Amino acid sequence: MGRILIVDDEPKIREVIREYAEFNGYAVEEAGNGMEAIGLCKLNDYDLIIMDIMMPKLDGYSACKEIRKIKDIPVIMLSARGEEYDKLYGFELGIDDYVVKPFSPKELMARINVALTRRNNTSIEPLEIIKFEGLEINIPARSVTIDGKKAELTPKEYDLLFYLVQNKNIALSRNKLLSDVWGYDFYGDDRTIDTHIKNLRNSLGNYRDYIVTLRGVGYKFEA
């Protein structure tokens, strides 16, 4: 089903996640800190990373930043820190989800399944490349080119942009975006969407205005 990297300095937590993940058919590897996780990502390809925040040698946020430079891998943050600031900071880094300890292993597996399903599935026909002036979007290749230069988007920014483009000129509420892009509405609020839209606009540069804010409603892609 997929290959998962579990990064946590607590062996018991890694053991619990591994047990449930392997039961659900995933291949699992482990790392005890951020530095070890970066080293493994340089050597191997993973479909998803479960990353703790507070770890020795290198924290999860810093490790996530470094991994983003070399690999495009979905990340679910796992942390005892449940403050809104911590969650929003994680989303600004491009993580796909944030789970607060103590957590339900069954719920974590559901979130993993959704993240991987959303990553692997798309409703746009294969090989379709969409162009809006100097903005070129290649959904099967998960690449975006701006005026001939490849843009560096986070995995969730790709998902959000592709969904907006698929529904071009359609008003999309924040709840609709949470449900369809994140795959569920169990966790998430307006700030989650707004943070990702802000980051996506910054990534699009001169074409940021294609994403239109609909006051009191949500957003739409208008080109």
| Closest C-alpha to 49, from 70, 23, 78 | 78
Return the SS3 of 211: strand
The pLDDT score that the predictor gives to residue 18 is: 94
Which residue is listed with tokens 């070399």? 70
Give Cβ neighbours of residue 8 (< 8 Å, ≥ 6 apart): 14, 17, 32, 50, 51, 52, 55, 78
Tens digit of pLDDT for each residue in 178-215? Answer: 878 876 544 556 678 888 899 999 999 999 999 999 98
The pLDDT score that the predictor gives to residue 1 is: 65
Rounded to an integer, what distance in angstroms lies between the CA atom of residue 102 and that of residue 175? 26
The pLDDT score that the predictor gives to residue 92 is: 79
The pLDDT score that the predictor gives to residue 27 is: 93
Rounded to an integer, what distance in angstroms lies between the CA atom of residue 34 and that of residue 13? 16
Q: How many CB atoms lie within 10 A of CB 179?
A: 13
The strands making up 135-138's β-sheet, listed across from edge to edge, are 129-132, 135-138, 143-146, 149-150
Which stretch of 36-40, 79-83, 163-167 has the lowest confidence by average pLDDT? 79-83
**CATH 3.40.50.2300 placement within the chain:** 3-120
**DSSP for 54-112?**
S-SSS-HHHHHHHHHHH----EEEEES---HHHHHHHHHTT-SEEEESS--HHHHHHHH
Tens digit of pLDDT for each residue in 27-55? Answer: 999 999 999 999 999 999 999 999 999 99
Using alpha carbons, list the distances in angstroms from residue 68 to 26, 30, 49, 155. 22, 18, 11, 9
The CATH fold of domain 3-120: Rossmann fold (3.40.50)
Which residue is listed with tokens 């700030």? 191
Burial (Cβ within 10 Å: 0-12, 13-18, ≥19) of residue 110: middle
**CATH 1.10.10.10 placement within the chain:** 129-221
Would you state the CATH architecture of domain 129-221?
Answer: Orthogonal Bundle (1.10)
Higher pLDDT, 32 or 91: 32
Here the tokens at position 84 are 């809104």
The pLDDT score that the predictor gives to residue 123 is: 43
Tens digit of pLDDT for each residue in 105-125? Answer: 998 998 888 778 766 654 444
The pLDDT score that the predictor gives to residue 129 is: 80
Q: What are phi and psi of 56, to 5 degrees?
A: -70, 160
Question: Given CA atoms 60, 65, 71, 73 in this order, what sign does their dihedral have?
Answer: positive
Whether the CB-CB separation of 85 and 191 falls below 8 Å is answered with: no
Whether the CB-CB separation of 10 and 78 falls below 8 Å is answered with: no
